Copies of this chain bind each other. A is one copy, B any other.
Amino acid sequence: MFESTVTFLDWLGIVVFSLTGALVASRKQMDVVGFVLLGTVTGIGGGTLRDLLLDLHPVLWIEQPLYVVVCALVSTIAFFTAHLVHSRYQLILWLDAAGLALFAATGAERAIGVGAGPVVAVIMGMITACFGGIIRDTLSQERSIIFSYEIYVTAALAAAITLVCANALGIDRQVGVSAAFGVGFALRGGAIMFGWSLPRYRSRQGRAHENAVC
């Protein structure tokens, strides 16, 4: 039951990330091939970079091409229905938060599974969760999520760190993944609902701490 929930969320994450890629494509008024390109890169980009860095071959979508097919399908549907997608922007933000939290947890877990230490596992969780979006923004020359005022990469990091800690403490996998997901989703959800953010660097006064929101 837990396994099938994780698998379900895994596919959900891919679908949602593809949708965010398609949304950017719609903003750029691209054609259907552009939607598919950007949607697919966003959906599988993070996992691909993780697999390349960890030397895990075949990379996820070469082993399981259905991932690409689903990304392409979702992006194509989005091309014909993007007005619906836009009106559901709030929903997509939340699904994206779920995908972010889950990919950070499962990405870190996959790294641990192939023998990576805690530091590398945390990074791999962050890469899996965030680099699809980072590649999307770079390719489409949009303002990158790494500049996002609200918490984003931080939520992925927190989820990955939670997973790694739970694993180090010998906590049951089911509990660990759930806790990591919960931490990441709560942080990102707070950012969506309440505008949570970390204090930013201010150049003039050197008073970086006054503007903290969370």
Contacts of A26 in B (CB 8 A): 201, 203
Query: With A59-B53, A141-B144, A146-B38 given, is the CB distance from A33 to B198 under 8 Å?
Result: yes
Instruction: Mark A192-214 against chain B: 1 for CB-CB distance below 8 A, else 0.
Output: 00000111111100101000000
* Nearest CB of chain B from residue A182's CB, rounded to whole Å: 20
Query: With A33-B157, A201-B31 given, is the CB distance from A57 to B55 under 8 Å?
Result: yes
Q: How many copies does the complex hold?
A: 3
- Per the CB 8 Å criterion, the residue count for chain A at the interface is 57
A147: contacting residue among B30, B86, B117, B123, CB under 8 A: B30
Instruction: Confirm or deny: A139 has a beta carbon within 8 angstroms of a beta carbon on chain B.
Output: yes
Interface pick from A3-11, A76-84, A169-177: A76-84
A27–B140 CA distance with the chains assembled, in angstroms: 21
* Nearest CB of chain B from residue A134's CB, rounded to whole Å: 7
A79–B25 CA distance with the chains assembled, in angstroms: 34
Instruction: Confirm or deny: A154 has a beta carbon within 8 angstroms of a beta carbon on chain B.
Output: yes
Instruction: Confirm or deny: A165 has a beta carbon within 8 angstroms of a beta carbon on chain B.
Output: no
A68–B21 CA distance with the chains assembled, in angstroms: 29
The 3 lowest CB-CB distance pairs between A and B, nearest first, are: A31-B198, A65-B119, A55-B57
